[in-house]
Amino acid sequence: MLQGPLLASERRRALDLPRVSVSSRERGDLVMLGIGGFTPLAGFMSSADWRSVCLDMRLESGLFWPIPITLSTDTPTADAIRLGSDVALVDQGAGEIVATMRVEEKYRPDKALECREVFKTEDSAHPGVAMVLAQGDVNLAGTVQVLSEGGFATQYPGLYLTPAQTRAAFEAKGWANVAAFQTRNPMHRSHEYLAKVAIEVCDGVLVHSLLGNLKAGDIPADVRTRAIGVLLEKYFVADTVMQSGYPLDMRYAGPREALLHALFRQNYGCAYQIIGRDHAGVGSYYGPFDAHHVFDQLPAGALETKPMKIDWTFWCYRCGGMASDRTCPHAPEDRLLLSGTKLRKLLSEGSEVPAEFSRPEVLDVLRAYYAGLDEKVEITLSGHSAR
């Protein structure tokens, strides 16, 4: 990320460059490139890197990378750009110039191949597949100079932190061994349990919440992070957990996205990534523990951040508390299975939420959000969330 006089100079230069519009997903990727979240990437992937990542989860150089980081545009825009020239990248939502880019290659990706390999489906009902299919037909590759953090620092002051800032915070707290808890949902009792299991064996837990765009029906970041903040304040020991956010949109890529989460948590300073049921999944596209198994398929040394795998978690009425398949001997009828989708469905319908499902202070925040919605999105239970 450019700073000071270099930033001011590049912003002036960018005003006279040809412009390429970037989507919300691409804006988030740009911010991660700029703040070091995607280190060692320096820009958007070439055709060789794109293909190698899709097929083998590694860059052409052999370095592990699980998901393509690409920039697309339409054919007329691509045809007008000369290789080796610079362009200004403009946030299509805000109209802000967020980066400049030296265009080193133009290529047409095989979208079907990307969907099959990364998402394990070509079904356009999958939100990640729909995102890829909606992209332009031409990818632009090249190094970038990032000029803006996309409004995240302003919108989420004190919550949006760069990798350098989280590492500094861990050092100040004396945390040498940190576990990351990934979430795109408010934390219900199962999430609370996972984080507390990690606290038992680590110096602290980073509750790392996605701040970018989600699919319809998911709870937006400002509401989610308020609910998480209340939970951490009321039900966690001080200085065992901290909340932060990162600027990506959700891809819903299941196992591949779990690997990406672990990879960029290396840059944020985390030794472990908590991996529960159906991490980064959607619907019934992935098995409940595919994101566990994918880590076992990696070559030695591919990732420094290690998975902290935790089994099915639930409230057991006979145990009288939260438990997992590894700790609870009781029958399914004694268990209340928890999921973010179930919680959203109950709240969206105004139904009663069992006390064993979520803390009352969290529910107060979420009920206020749903009561203020002008238009409700129907939540459908499918896959593991329907159990």
Which active-site residues does the annotation give? Answer: 184-185
Q: Enumerate the H helices of 174-254 as residue ranges.
A: 189-201, 221-235
Q: What is the dihedral of CA 17, 18, 23, 24, to 10 degrees?
A: 10
Q: How far is CA 150 from the centre of its chain?
A: 16
Contact 143, 120 (CB under 8 A): no
Rounded Cα–Cα distance for residues 84 and 61 (Å): 22
The one-letter code for the residue type at 74 is D
Beta carbons within 8 Å of 159's beta carbon, 6+ residues apart? 209, 211, 225, 243, 244, 245
Whether the CA torsion 163, 164, 165, 168 is positive or negative: it is positive
Rounded Cα–Cα distance for residues 387 and 381 (Å): 9
Task: Please state whether the peptide bond connecting residue 5 to the residue before it is cis, i.e. omega within 30 degrees of 0.
Answer: no
The string of DSSP codes covering 168-192 is HHHHHHT-SSEEEEEESS---HHHH
Question: What is the layout of strands, in order, in the sheet containing 204-210?
Answer: 241-246, 204-210, 178-183, 272-275, 306-309
Rounded Cα–Cα distance for residues 298 and 307 (Å): 12
Identify the CA nearest to 29 among candidates 16, 38, 20. Answer: 38
Q: How far is CA 232 from the centre of its chain?
A: 20
Question: For residues 247-280, b (16+ Cβ closer than 10 Å) or e, as one string?
Answer: bbbbbbbbbbbbbbbbbbbbbbbbbbbbbbbbbb
